[in-house]
Amino acid sequence: MEVASLKLKFGKIGVLMGGPSTEREISLKSGKAVYEILNEMGLDVIAIDIKTDDIKENSFLMKSKKIDCAFIALHGRFGEDGQIQTILDELKMPYTGSGVKASTLAMDKIASRKIFQEHGLSVPGYIILERSSFNSNQVVCSGLRLPWVVKPATHGSSIGLSIIDRSEDLDKALESAFSFDERILIEEYIEGRELTVGILEDRPLSVIEICPKKRFFDFQAKYEHGMTEYIVPAQVDEDIARQVQETALLAHRLLGCFGLSRVDIMLSRSNIPFVLEVNTIPGLTLTSLLPKAANAEGIDFGQLCLILLKLAYEKK
């Protein structure tokens, strides 16, 4: 499609980036990559740095920029939890990605996990702790096999996450997780292969295997060059790859996600896919996992961004 036609089709595009969450710096990188590719393609695009979670301030900001649609590149709180989507819905503005309900559910690892369980998907065994009723002397994990994963209920990028092999290390892990959230999960660590599946246009892309040089895919392994190897597509049997893709697509659909997502899965040693979480706004740099998976199927980064814009208008 010619540039003039694309400009007419999408109007003035605002790429929303930054945000007030702990993932702000990563969001700025995603937003910059999206802005640069759309700008290179000759589209009418501006970068909008979201700096606060104030509803009125951001609503005014959207209006003042006079944009026709929003490309959301916000990660974490205020980007993936339904808050920015609520503002855009009220402004009747098209935007990329999932709506309010799906965003809220996916961001909440507890709420989404309960839905997965109700529909027969495998998830790690877990318990929930809430700060309001938390007593370190009353934490009972006797039903969970060590190692344990301790993590906040509503944060991404492995922020506040710990893996512990001894129960005596639990207090320190709880302190870290509670510093980021009012609710946390303690779950069984699944021994196996770490996989992720991008979903685009309600279709699973190639399975990616994540091979961090550290024990697990933490913040450093995610964002420091050379700390992780990515195998695209993952070297797994065809029937297992299909099962993993079907599991990911079902998780995406159960939460009501739209347009895109990335589903993180642990494949156990007995080849059972355990769903960990659904990311409704995964990383969107040229080297991020969803673009890697799309590229493996012949969809370059520019095409990917155009698909997401097209879907924004279809949803509207």
* pLDDT score recorded for residue 137: 59
| pLDDT (average), residues 64-89 | 95
Kindly report the backbone phi and psi dihedral angles of residue 8, in degrees, each rounded to the nearest multiple of 5, phi listed first.
-65, -40
Was domain 3-96 assigned CATH 3.40.50.20?
yes
| pLDDT (average), residues 50-78 | 95
**CA-to-CA distance for 100 and 82, rounded, in angstroms?**
4
Pick the CATH number of 106-121+191-280 from 3.30.420.40, 2.40.50.320, 3.40.250.10, 3.30.470.20: 3.30.470.20
| pLDDT (average), residues 216-239 | 73
Contact indicator for 278, 255 with CB cutoff of 8 Å: yes
47: Cβ–Cβ under 8 A, 6 or more apart, which residues?
14, 15, 17, 31, 32, 35
232: Cβ–Cβ under 8 A, 6 or more apart, which residues?
206, 208, 292, 293, 296
Taking 60 as the threshold, does the pLDDT of residue 217 lie above it? no
Taking 80 as the threshold, does the pLDDT of residue 26 lie above it? yes
User: Each residue of 207-228: b (16+ CB within 10 Å) or e?
Assistant: bbbbebeeeebbbebbeeeeeb
Share of the chain above pLDDT 90, in %: 73
**Of all helices (H) and strands (E), which one includes residue 135?**
none
- For 91, the token pair is 């402004």
| pLDDT (average), residues 200-228 | 73
* pLDDT score recorded for residue 224: 56
What are the angstrom distances between the C-alpha of 260 and each of 178, 206, 279?
30, 14, 9
pLDDT digits (tens, 9 = 90+) for 287-305: 799 999 999 999 999 999 9
Average pLDDT, the chain: 91
Was domain 126-188 assigned CATH 2.40.30.260?
no
Taking 90 as the threshold, does the pLDDT of residue 159 lie above it? no
Residue 247: how many CB atoms within 10 A of its CB? 23
Tokens 């920015």 -> residue: 84
**CA-to-CA distance for 251 and 231, rounded, in angstroms?**
22
Task: Please report the sign of the dihedral spanned by the C-alpha atoms of residue 39, residue 300, residue 105, residue 230.
Answer: negative
Confidence class for position 167, pLDDT limits 50, 70, 90: confident
* pLDDT score recorded for residue 276: 95
User: Residue 87's beta-bridge partner residues?
Assistant: none
* pLDDT score recorded for residue 221: 47
Confidence class for position 215, pLDDT limits 50, 70, 90: low
Q: Does a cis peptide bond (omega within 30 degrees of 0) precede residue 212?
A: no
Confidence class for position 8, pLDDT limits 50, 70, 90: confident
Taking 60 as the threshold, does the pLDDT of residue 222 lie above it? no
DSSP 263: E
pLDDT digits (tens, 9 = 90+) for 169-206: 988 999 899 988 889 999 999 999 999 999 999 999 99
Sheet strands (E) in the chain: 13-18, 45-50, 69-72, 126-130, 148-152, 162-164, 183-188, 192-200, 203-212, 228-231, 260-268, 273-279
Tell me, yes or no, if the pTM score tops 0.75: yes
Confidence class for position 49, pLDDT limits 50, 70, 90: very high
| pLDDT (average), residues 58-81 | 95
**Residue from 63, 68, 75 nearest 21 by CA:** 75
| pLDDT (average), residues 214-231 | 61
How many residues appear in the chain?
316
Q: What is the DSSP string of 50-90?
A: E----HHHHHHHHHHHT-SEEEE---STTTSSSHHHHHHHH
**Of all helices (H) and strands (E), which one includes residue 286?**
none
* pLDDT score recorded for residue 136: 64
* pLDDT score recorded for residue 133: 75
| pLDDT (average), residues 224-244 | 88
**CA-to-CA distance for 265 and 32, rounded, in angstroms?**
28
Listed by start position, the domains of the chain span 3-96, 106-121+191-280, 126-188
- The SS3 of residue 228 is strand
* pLDDT score recorded for residue 93: 97
Q: Which residues are catalytic?
A: 23, 157, 223, 262, 264, 277, 279, 283
